[in-house]
């Protein structure tokens, strides 16, 4: 362990790394319950998503452990799963076709991770758009949590309205939300996971939650239930691009953020970045082959770093715990059937994604409005792709007419044209 993960060189030890691994796992284990809830709404069988979520998390996290030697965990990303579900629902396509889009996005991500094109793409897209996309996705998944719990419901006059808070599920959601908020305010480790457990306990004693068992043999994984040909026949190139774009920014941003916290960033660069990005790319491709949306580096890894994690041993522990979790599918299935347990997580994670808004120059109109357009459009159209398209079209346009066209990278002009054509002729609703 010492030689493999260079523990002394990184100023840590086995005990600290194991503790950090448990800490990271507890902060992100909610995904094995939340992800099946979201993707099953698109028709993907619960057991298939459950196993695919764990498999992709294990594959990505172990690659991160052994090849990048970073305490960063990988799992299917929030927001991307919601986008997956909305594309399936709005386009009337089979989930197999969208898995094909994810698979192709994963292959492209692998290729990008082997080249310098990734750096070009990241540098070309301005920070205001990156922060706007993250915030827009945050509002999108928070709104999803409000709707699935019944706190907000459809309304003909005003599109949406307050639901009946006297009903069991909305009421339990509110209780669970405040319980989790209190745990976060008290800096309780694994607050999101502990909040789910406490909400589940309340649901059990109020007869809203029942179990058909606790431990069972893991469900049989479904391999390559994917329709790649459908991606081309349906012209879903924009969908592939959106999956690739969000995963690229999300992963890179998380790695830089966690890297800075842990002191890994040297001269503005993250050592072994190529291996770290490859972990996410392979996890996305593998996950799609088994039945889940794209994977990404988890910002919750910062909790493990805060607990002292500095090497891949932390990630190894996370991977092992994910493997063990596959034996508890009855518990996860029961939790997933009660939206009040998972909805507070969606709402709170959505709030976490607002952080970047403080870094947008709101006094500069040509920087502020494209970000605002993204943030406004995503939740109101229930389409992450539409929000990104609006931002990428308005940003170069405003810069061009304000005499700042030379400040915009040529790649952005190319994206603007592509998105404009896509919105006119191939709209993704």
Domain that holds residue 389: 362-429
Residues 43 and 106 in one domain: yes
Check if the beta carbon of residue 203 is closer than 8 Å to that of residue 209: yes
Summarize pLDDT for 33-88 with one digit per residue, the tens. Answer: 889 999 998 999 999 999 999 999 999 999 999 999 999 999 998 878 988 988 88
Residues 225 and 99 in one domain: yes
Secondary structure element (H or E) that encloses residue 233, with its range: helix 228-233
Summarize pLDDT for 147-179 with one digit per residue, the tens. Answer: 889 999 888 777 888 988 989 999 999 999 999
Number of domains in the chain: 2
**Where is the domain boundary, 272, 300, 327?**
327
| Residue at 344 is within a domain | no
* C-alpha 346 chain-centroid distance: 11
Residues 297 and 400 in one domain: no
| Residue at 17 is within a domain | yes
Beta-strand runs (E) in 106-158: 152-155
What whole-number distance in Å separates Cα of residue 96 and Cα of residue 8? 47
**Which residue in this structure is represented by tokens 């990505």?**
60
Name residues of the chain where pLDDT drops below 50.
Answer: none
Residues 322 and 366 in one domain: no
| Residue at 185 is within a domain | no
| Residue at 287 is within a domain | yes
What whole-number distance in Å separates Cα of residue 268 and Cα of residue 311? 20
Residues 258 and 122 in one domain: yes
The pLDDT value given to residue 119? 65
Beta-strand runs (E) in 230-274: none
């Amino acid at each position: 362990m010492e030689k493999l993960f260079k523990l002394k060189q990184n100023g840590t030890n086995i005990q600290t790394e194991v503790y950090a691994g448990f800490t990271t796992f507890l902060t992100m284990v909610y995904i094995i319950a939340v992800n099946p809830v979201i993707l099953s709404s698109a028709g993907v069988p619960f057991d298939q998503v459950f196993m695919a979520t764990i498999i992709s998390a294990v594959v990505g996290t172990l690659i991160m452990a052994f090849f990048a030697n970073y305490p960063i965990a990988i799992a299917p990303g929030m927001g991307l799963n919601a986008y997956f579900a909305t594309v399936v629902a709005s386009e009337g396509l089979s989930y197999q076709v969208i898995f094909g889009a994810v698979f192709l996005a994963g292959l492209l991500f692998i290729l990008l991770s082997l080249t310098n094109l990734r750096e070009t793409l990241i540098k070309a897209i301005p920070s205001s758009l990156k922060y706007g996309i993250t915030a827009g996705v945050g509002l999108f998944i928070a709104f999803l949590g409000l709707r699935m719990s019944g706190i907000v419901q459809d309304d003909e006059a005003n599109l949406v309205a307050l639901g009946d808070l006297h009903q069991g599920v909305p009421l339990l959601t509110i209780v669970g939300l405040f319980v989790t908020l209190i745990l976060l305010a008290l800096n309780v480790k694994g607050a999101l996971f502990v909040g789910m457990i406490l909400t589940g306990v309340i649901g059990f004693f109020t007869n809203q939650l029942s179990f058909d068992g606790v431990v069972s043999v893991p469900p049989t994984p479904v391999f390559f239930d994917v329709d790649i040909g459908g991606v081309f026949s349906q012209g879903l190139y924009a969908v592939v691009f959106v999956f690739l774009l969000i995963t690229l920014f999300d992963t890179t941003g998380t790695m830089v953020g966690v890297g800075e916290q842990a002191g890994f960033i040297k001269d503005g660069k993250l050592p072994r970045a190529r291996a770290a990005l490859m972990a996410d790319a392979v996890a996305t491709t593998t996950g799609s082959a088994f039945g889940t949306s794209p994977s990404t580096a988890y910002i919750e890894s910062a909790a493990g770093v805060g607990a002292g994690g500095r090497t891949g041993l932390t990630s190894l522990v996370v991977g092992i715990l994910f493997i063990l979790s596959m034996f508890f599918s009855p518990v996860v299935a029961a939790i997933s059937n009660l939206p009040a347990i998972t909805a507070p997580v969606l709402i709170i994670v959505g709030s976490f994604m607002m952080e970047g808004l403080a870094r947008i120059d709101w006094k500069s109109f040509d920087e502020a409005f494209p970000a605002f357009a993204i943030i406004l459009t995503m939740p109101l159209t229930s389409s992450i792709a539409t929000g990104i398209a609006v931002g990428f079209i308005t940003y170069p346009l405003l810069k061009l007419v304000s005499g700042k066209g030379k400040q915009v990278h040529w790649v952005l002009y190319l994206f603007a044209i592509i998105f404009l054509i896509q919105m006119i002729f191939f709209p993704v609703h």
